[in-house]
Structure 1
Amino acid sequence: MLTKAQKLRAKRKAQLGRPRKANAERFACGKIKPEWSKQESEKEAMAVALAARKRMHGLEARGALAGYTLGRLFLDGRITEQQREAGDDYAATMVRYYHLTGIPFPSVRAQQIDHVRGHSGEPSEARALKAKNAAERMMRLEGLLLGCEEGRQVKTTVFNVCVMDYEGLRMMPEAQLDWLKRGLNVLLFEKGLRQYGKKDNSFTPL
C-alpha cells in the first residue's frame, strides 16, 4: 500500500507533462520539429516560384518546360515537341563540350564566376578522348547549322535560344523564328540519323 505522501508525489509526477518522444527529429535547441514544416516550406517555395513565373512569363505551368526559353516557346505553340527535343539535345551537347574541354560556359546564368577554370594537371587519356569526341560532335552540329540557308543567323539564333537561354527571344519575330525552326529541323534530322545508326563513318557519337 502506498502512503498518502507517495500517492501525492506520484500524482504530481504525472502532472509534469508527457514523456519524452523517442526518435523525434529536433531542432538544435531540443524542440521537436513539426511534421509539416518541411512540406509546408516546400509548398511555400513552390507557390512563390509559380507566382513569379506567372508574373514574369504569363505561365501557370508547374513543369520544367516553363523554366527555360526553348520550353516556353514550345508551350506557346511556336515550335513542335520534336523541335524542342532536338534543341535540348543540342544544348546538352554544348554543355558536355564546355565541361569536358574546360572552356568556361558562356552564360553567366549557368556558371559560378569564381569557379571558371580549366582542368588541373594533365587530363587522363580517357578524359582526353571524351573531350575530343565532344569537340568533334560540337563542330559537326555547328557545321550543320552553318550549312543551312542563312546559316550564320540560324546558328546564332539556335545558340542564343538553346544555350544562352535569352528570355527576350521568346517574342522573336517570325523571320527569326524561321531561322530557329530551320536549325532545329536540321538538328532533329541529325538526331534521328544518330539514334537509328545511319551516321557517316567520319563521326563517332558520344
Structure 2
Amino acid sequence: MMSKAQKLRAKRKAQLGRPRKANAERFACGKIKPDWSKRESEKEAMAVALAARKRMHGLETSSSFAGYTLGRLFLDGRITEAQREAGDDYAKGMARYYHLTGIPFPSVRAQAIDRVQGHAPETSEERHRQIKRATERMMRLEGVLLGCDEGRQVKTTVFNVCVMDYEGLRMMPEAQLLWLKRGLNALVFDKGLHDYGERECSFNNL
C-alpha cells in the first residue's frame, strides 16, 4: 500500500509534461505515425491558393515575392533584385517607425499587417532611443527620395508601392516606373553608403 507521500509524488509525476495522445496510431517504437490526411489537406489548400494567385495575378509560383506588389514587379522583371531589397528595407523602416511611435499604419493592405495600429509609446529611456532612431531613419529615407529629380513624384510612387502595396501599380506606365526605379536606386546607394559608414566606424573603434 502506497503512503500519502508516495501518492503525492506519483500524482505530480503524472502531471508533468504533455498528456499522452489518445487513440493515435504508433510505430512499434512508440513514435506517433504522421497524419497523412492532414498533409494532403495542406497540399490541397496550397493548390487552391496557387490557383487563385495564377487567376488573379497571372503568376504560377509559390514564391513569397508573389504576395505583394513590389515582389510581383520583381517577378515580372520590371525591377532588379537590388531594387526589390531596397524597397523591402524601406518598407521595414517605415513599419518600424509607425509601430514605435504609435502612429496607425496607413493601410491594412500593407505588408506588416500585424502592425496596422502601433502601440502607445512607453516612457522608458530605451524606448525613447528606439523611437529616435526609427524617426531619424524615416526622415533620412524620405530625404533621399525627395532629393531625387522630381522628388515628390518619386517619394509618392515608392511609398504607394512599398508601404501602401497598391496592386494597381503593378501595371504602372513606364514614366511612373521610372520614378519608382529612380527612388529605389537612390535607396540602394544610400544603404551602401550607410553600411560602409558603419563598417568604417567599427574598424576605427578596433
Which interval holds the TM-score relative to the shorter structure? 0.7 to 0.9
1:124 Cα deviation after fit: 1.3
In the alignment, is the contact (CA less than 8 A) between 1:101 and 1:131 conserved in 2? yes
* In structure 2, C-alpha distance between the alignment counterparts of 1:70 and 1:144, rounded to whole Å: 19
In the alignment, is the contact (CA less than 8 A) between 1:107 and 1:164 conserved in 2? yes
| 1:124-163 equivalence runs, <5 A | 124-163=124-163
One-letter code aligned to 1:44: E
One-letter code aligned to 1:97: Y
Q: Which moved more, 1:102-111 or 1:181-190?
A: 102-111
Question: Are positions 1:68 and 2:93 aligned together?
Answer: no
In the alignment, is the contact (CA less than 8 A) between 1:161 and 1:169 conserved in 2? yes
- What per-residue deviation string (whole Å, max 9, x for no partner) do you get for residues 70-105 of structure 1? 011011111111000100110010011111111110
- What per-residue deviation string (whole Å, max 9, x for no partner) do you get for residues 114-169 of structure 1? x736417x431101110110000000100110111110000000000001110000
Q: Which residue of 2 aligns with 1:116?
A: 117
Count of residue pairs brought into register by the alignment: 174
* In structure 2, C-alpha distance between the alignment counterparts of 1:38 and 1:124, rounded to whole Å: 46
* In structure 2, C-alpha distance between the alignment counterparts of 1:75 and 1:177, rounded to whole Å: 15
Percent identity over the alignment? Answer: 77
| 1:40-79 equivalence runs, <5 A | 40-79=40-79
Q: Which residue of 2 aligns with 1:82?
A: 82
One-letter code aligned to 1:187: L
Cα distance change of structure 1 residues 72 and 88 upon mapping to structure 2, 3 Å threshold: same
One-letter code aligned to 2:150: E
State the TM-score, normalizing by the size of structure 2. 0.76
In the alignment, is the contact (CA less than 8 A) between 2:101 and 2:118 conserved in 1? no
* In structure 2, C-alpha distance between the alignment counterparts of 1:96 and 1:171, rounded to whole Å: 28
* In structure 1, C-alpha distance between the alignment counterparts of 2:87 and 2:175, rounded to whole Å: 18
1:112 Cα deviation after fit: 6.6
* In structure 2, C-alpha distance between the alignment counterparts of 1:65 and 1:177, rounded to whole Å: 18
- Bigger relative contact order (CA 8 A; separation at least 6): 1
For structure 1, the 5+ residue unaligned runs are: 1-20, 26-31, 202-206
Larger radius of gyration: 1
In the alignment, is the contact (CA less than 8 A) between 1:193 and 1:199 conserved in 2? no
* In structure 2, C-alpha distance between the alignment counterparts of 1:42 and 1:69, rounded to whole Å: 25
